[in-house]
A and B are shown apart, each in its own frame.
Chain A
């Protein structure tokens, strides 16, 4: 109460511009700290990186189709590496 009185008495001595700034500040919307995107926007770059590093993405569900695709590509690579080996051996033989 006392503070309030002091505050109002000092207000009277301030310039018009400063009073305007205080009114704007009082009326400004406080950031909603429950919203993760708002919190992220307020953090420094290093803090964002550190915060994200502490969390991990979970495993995604691998459907049958997705597993079939990954296996097909894996078999493709192995077969192709064997073929590369064949071509290298042929080149070695031809060079002799």
Chain B
């Protein structure tokens, strides 16, 4: 029953536990250890659940993807702005996914060209089935490997008592450079709540053929996704705590370097699990994010945009999907391309682009003409507005700290 129930909700959350997200969680554990960030990350997933549940209702009631609905209700002018944010964010994120793939497999001595090329074959294999259901099952089967961070965390022998206390008290608070703390807070939010998730889940709900009567099941699917993803995120933090405990600076670490640095503390098996987890995070997100871009393009261009359509009927959809994946993969293989700066900024950009996306979401989900009796309740609106305002405040804080670094000691 559970196998039939899970789908877009689990996929979107495990897809968002992607390479830059796992890198952010790893950096959090290595820099601050066990403390404030454990419950904070759980809170971000609660926020993610509240937001994504709205897309389930929108998709099931309107049978339209997010981009299509924004174009319908707000016109092309605002629609293209929303698409611009999505395209920029998705492409940069897609590049980071292939960085994760390259770095994860690099730990095992696999050459970058083979790692990236092999991943493209997996993306192609998933869509070549010509059915949404099969694509969803293949991607879900790959996403299960996000759980590799759990045994890696266990091998790190975390202080469970301290972890439990931190979850209850949010203590100890992070100390040190305030600018660095703020960037990590933004990165951890961006690791959970991003515009592509809104576009992807709504389109996937439509492609799956969900009806208003399926909203309850969709809600449960989303909740399961949020719970699984938050567990694996916490595991990534706990797995890198040994670096914090032994005072090893992880400021300049890339994904695979975490695995290498952790090897003396969690053993070769633990480090291998960590590296495989980074590879999995990259490949699953590469599949879901490229599909998210393709859905949005298909909806805007009014061409076939379903994984149930054969390639000859929906070739612009498949071309966008594979084209974006190939372009991102190619960039990763360009020598001396500044990949590390893309990794550092991609989650921050996701947070900064989120308030307009949330505004469109809240306006649509409160539109009685579109949603009928399925409009938001008062508490969903309060939560949505609070999240939007907090994201704006966090963004403004980041802006002020960047322009006036001395304010936060940056």
Contact = CB atoms under 8 A, between A and B. Distances in A.
Chains A and B are bound partners: yes
Contacts of A79: 399
Contact of B63 (A49, A58, A62, A74): A49
B382 to A, nearest CB: 17
Interface string A5-16: 000000000000
B1 to A, nearest CB: 19
B65 to A, nearest CB: 11
Contact of B73 (A48, A57, A80, A87): A57
Contacts of A87: 345, 402
Contact of A88 (B345, B356, B363, B399): B345
A56 B302 CA distance: 12
B113 interface: no
A49 B73 CA distance: 19
Given A57-B62, A80-B395, A70 B359 contact: yes
B107 interface: no
Given A46-B209, A48-B211, A81-B349, A57 B72 contact: yes
Nearest to B341: A88
B345 A74 contact: no
Contacts of B349: 81, 84
A81 B403 contact: no
A38 B291 CA distance: 35
The majority secondary structure among interface residues of chain B is helix
A81 B344 CA distance: 14
Nearest to A91: B341
A39 interface: no
B370 interface: yes
B363 A66 contact: yes
Contact of A53 (B63, B69, B78, B367): B63
A84 B74 CA distance: 28
Contact of A92 (B74, B341, B352, B398): B341
B73 A70 contact: no
Contacts of A83: 398-399, 402-403
B348 interface: yes
A35 B72 CA distance: 25
B75 interface: yes
A49 B359 contact: no
Interface string A71-96: 00110110111011011101110000
Contacts of A73: 355-356, 359
A77 B403 contact: no
A60 B356 contact: no
Interface in A6-63: 45-46, 48-49, 52-53, 56-60, 62
A92 B211 contact: no
B399 A80 contact: yes
Contact of A70 (B356, B369, B370, B398): B356
Contacts of B356: 70, 73-74, 76-77
Contact of B62 (A52, A58, A66, A92): A52
Contacts of B338: 92
A26 B262 CA distance: 76
A73 B78 CA distance: 11
Given A52-B62, A57-B69, A76-B392, A81 B352 contact: yes
A69 interface: yes
Given A45-B211, A52-B62, A59 B355 contact: no
Contacts of A88: 341, 344-345
B186 to A, nearest CB: 10
Interface string B313-345: 000000000000000000000000010010011
A84 B209 CA distance: 39
A59 B75 contact: yes
B353 interface: yes
B407 interface: no
B95 to A, nearest CB: 14
- The 10 A-B residue pairs with the shortest CB-CB distance in the complex, in nearest-first order: A80-B352, A73-B356, A52-B63, A57-B72, A83-B399, A87-B402, A60-B73, A83-B402, A49-B63, A45-B209
Given A60-B369, A84-B402, 20 more contacts: A45-B211, A46-B209, A52-B62, A53-B63, A57-B72, A57-B369, A57-B370, A58-B72, A59-B73, A59-B75, A66-B363, A70-B78, A73-B355, A73-B359, A80-B352, A83-B399, A86-B402, A86-B403, A91-B344, A92-B338
